[in-house]
Amino acid sequence: MVTRTDHPRARTVALVGRSGVGKTSLLEALVAATGALERPGRVEDGTTLCGIDPEERRHHASLAIGVAPLLVGDDRLTLLDTPGLADFAGEVDRALDVADVALFVVAASGVPADTAALWRRCRDAGVPTVVFVNALDAERADYESVLHELELLVGPTLAPLEIPLGAGGDFTGLVDLLRDEALTYGPDGERRTAVPASLADLEARARASLLEAIVVGDDAMTERYLENEDLAWDELEEVLGRLMSEGRIVPVTVGSALRGVGVGRLVTLLDEIAESRPIELVEGGEVVTLARDPDAEPVVRAFKVIVDPYVGRIVVAEVVSGRLAGNEALTCARTGREEHLHGLHQLVGTKLVAIDHAIAGDVVALTKLNDVQIGDVLARGRRSLAPLAPLTMTPALSMAVVGEDDDKLASALHRLVEEDPSLGLRHDRVARSLVVDAMGELHLQVTQERLRRRFNVAASWAPPPVAHFETIRSAAEAEGRVKKQTGGHGQFAVVDVLVEPIEPTAPWEFVDAVVGGAVPRQYIGAVRHGIERAMEHGGPAGHPVVGLRVTLRDGKSHSVDSSEAAFETAGSLALRAALEKSGTVVLERVMATEVRVPDWSLGDVLTDLAGRRGRVVGTSASGEGETVVNALVPEASLVRYGLELRQNTGGQGRYVARVDHFAEAPVAVGRS
């Protein structure tokens, strides 16, 4: 359908769709259709190329990107199977970031509401997309209903290329609308026949709609069409291929992955319309666009890491440009270190297959690159290339994690975070423990299972305490005094401070107003450090202290008994005395929260926010069936908001939040 080049091409296809629509089975069927497999594996038997991770078997779902290459003539396509569960949507984003085309899979039984979130990810990634309606041989298959739901989801760019012959047990093949012929599948393979009379009216309407969608994209063809001139199918195919490659038409294909119906045609279509997308990177502070040019200097971008207990660390990367050999030396822009490649491999499911070279558009697996992370760009020489921005997601819940061996637990979690950047790990000073930020309860459960199976680490979870803070009610003067004689050198330090409240979101301020050397210069830093330590330890209610300006005004020292330790202690005592004298107020963080929800769920979302002590400051229509809600919500009310937002919006809602200000916490928050 598109103009072909004389040299082999390499491109990447991301399979996207909600869990249960048959993506993994379709990948098996696509690989088998090219002769690379004798027969497709079965998900229920655990014999597929991808999806054989023990956790994936246990949960009957893909949990990470699966990789499988296939040959179409001299061309190479790399298939990326992605999870369909919301908890693992970060894997979808990474696959779409490197994909040249998305294969959007839906089941013939219907298009649930949460499919919209995945469609939006494809659209936002700007990837040309092909829709495949799978499992038309299933009992509840209803193509016309699914097509209507797809039209509502995708809009006017949707263009069916095929319609099914029957459904359920009567599904026998499909109608090729462009060539105006039927294809039936049986024991003897594919057979071309005339369109059955029973489908003549439906086929005529669908074909007319397809022709109109094609000719609208070409001015010369539009004129000929309006003059009722016959258009040859080969020139229609050429224009259709260009429109699909540009994303101006979203084609709909049909079939059955389990029976292989329509799969061979799908391979051909993907090969014909998948054009290598240029990649935008940052170099020297400027955005540069790199074409997928096999004759350019080699540039490689990592998008997946696997920590294998036997092979070690495997970095899966796309070859952005150039030709790559197994003995290449490339520099990682982030670290500045030169990395020597120890051979090249293709990742076929979980197996590494050695290859001697790769070209722009290929996906390769690299071993022994221990310092290369997801998102890193490697190139020759001192070229400094970096991604435009890291792919980030707002966690749906956070949990404090506890294990018998903290060091072993932290090390194992860091290894899992290397593989899954949507899993966050941080040390929370309020919880005084490691906190895991996850995309949902299943994400957390799978993390726990992987810790146990792969690292023999048992971990338990508990909700982390909500962060509260204290600040001084009014300005106060106080003295901190340390005087201790025990024979020989003692400890002596006196500091006088003025503590004043400032905006709690601002960094605390330390003002040195000492004159005449009452506090020697070498001890000023110790006073500051003592005050900082006291603020972190907490005020009278036990919460970290914020929003202070502390002015060191005077003090006393001793030529023999003064020391840094004494002045650090005096600074700490002075702050505590000021807080007790003035009294403190307990604060909570209030988050500026932007929530995007489908219009139909707006009422439920607003009611829910009100129940969380949220104050809506504005709403606006996005023009895409969504409403944007801006609200101020206490941080404590957002602990599980991501999960409950999914429930209230059919999986389509999403939000981001940042600290806006501090406010006095409810009376119930007392001393810890």
> Per-residue pLDDT tens for 39-64?
666 766 666 777 668 888 888 888 99
Give per-residue pLDDT as tens, 479-529.
Answer: 999 998 766 678 999 999 999 999 999 999 999 999 988 999 999 999 999
Give per-residue pLDDT as tens, 536-587.
Answer: 999 999 899 999 999 999 999 998 889 999 999 999 999 999 999 999 999 9
- What distance, in Å, lies between the first and last C-alpha atoms of the chain? 69
Is pLDDT of 209 > 50?
A: yes
Structure confidence at residue 616 (pLDDT): 96
Does residue 457 contact residue 564 with C-beta atoms inside 8 Å? no
Is pLDDT of 431 > 70?
A: no
Q: Which one, of 314, 295, 290, 360, lies nearest residue 12 by Cα?
A: 360
Structure confidence at residue 103 (pLDDT): 97
Q: How is residue 350 annotated by DSSP? A: T
Structure confidence at residue 623 (pLDDT): 76
Structure confidence at residue 645 (pLDDT): 93
Tokens in use for 495? 């500091």
Measured distance CA(644)–CA(653) in Å, rounded: 10
Residue 4's pLDDT band (boundaries 50, 70, 90)? Answer: very low
Q: How is residue 82 annotated by DSSP? A: -
State how far the alpha carbon of 465 is from the alpha carbons of 316, 340, 431, 432, in Å. 38, 46, 6, 10
Mean of pLDDT values over 432-444: 90
Does residue 344 contact residue 368 with C-beta atoms inside 8 Å? no
Mean of pLDDT values over 372-382: 90
Does residue 414 contact residue 426 with C-beta atoms inside 8 Å? no
Is pLDDT of 135 > 90?
A: yes
Give per-residue pLDDT as tens, 345-362.
Answer: 998 888 889 999 999 999
Does residue 640 contact residue 396 with C-beta atoms inside 8 Å? yes
What structural domains does the chain harbor? Answer: 10-273 (3.40.50.300), 279-387 (2.40.30.10), 397-464 (3.30.70.870), 470-582 (3.30.230.10), 586-664 (3.30.70.240)
Three-point CA angle 139, 145, 148, nearest 5°: 150
669 compared with 160, residue with greater pLDDT: 160
Structure confidence at residue 3 (pLDDT): 43
Q: How is residue 219 annotated by DSSP? A: H
Measured distance CA(603)–CA(410) in Å, rounded: 42
Q: Which one, of 58, 40, 57, lies nearest residue 49 by Cα?
A: 40
Is pLDDT of 672 > 50?
A: no
Structure confidence at residue 639 (pLDDT): 86
Does residue 438 contact residue 397 with C-beta atoms inside 8 Å? yes
Please give the mean pLDDT across all residues of the chain.
89
Residues 6+ apart with CB under 8 A from 257: 22, 25, 26, 28, 29, 40, 134, 135, 263
What's the longest Cα–Cα distance across the chain? 111
Structure confidence at residue 6 (pLDDT): 54
315 compared with 73, residue with greater pLDDT: 315
DSSP run (H or E) holding 45: none
Q: How is residue 261 annotated by DSSP? A: B
Residues 6+ apart with CB under 8 A from 456: none
Give per-residue pLDDT as tens, 156-187.
Answer: 889 999 999 988 988 999 999 988 899 998 88
Give per-residue pLDDT as tens, 257-307.
Answer: 999 999 999 999 999 888 888 899 998 889 999 998 999 999 999 999 998
Residue 447: Cβ within 10 Å count: 24
Mean of pLDDT values over 395-405: 88
Give per-residue pLDDT as tens, 80-134.
Answer: 999 999 999 999 999 999 999 999 999 999 999 889 999 999 999 999 999 999 9
Mean of pLDDT values over 152-157: 90
Measured distance CA(438)–CA(458) in Å, rounded: 18
**Percent above pLDDT 70 for the chain:** 96
Structure confidence at residue 471 (pLDDT): 95
Q: Which one, of 417, 403, 296, lies nearest residue 360 by Cα?
A: 296
Query: Among 101-110, 444-453, 620-629, where is mean pLDDT lowest?
Result: 620-629
Contacts of 170-178 with CB under 8 Å at 24 or more apart are 171/136, 171/137, 171/141, 171/256, 171/261, 173/261, 174/254, 174/255, 174/261, 174/262, 175/199, 175/203, 176/265, 177/203, 177/206, 177/207, 177/210, 178/207, 178/210, 178/233, 178/236, 178/237, 178/240
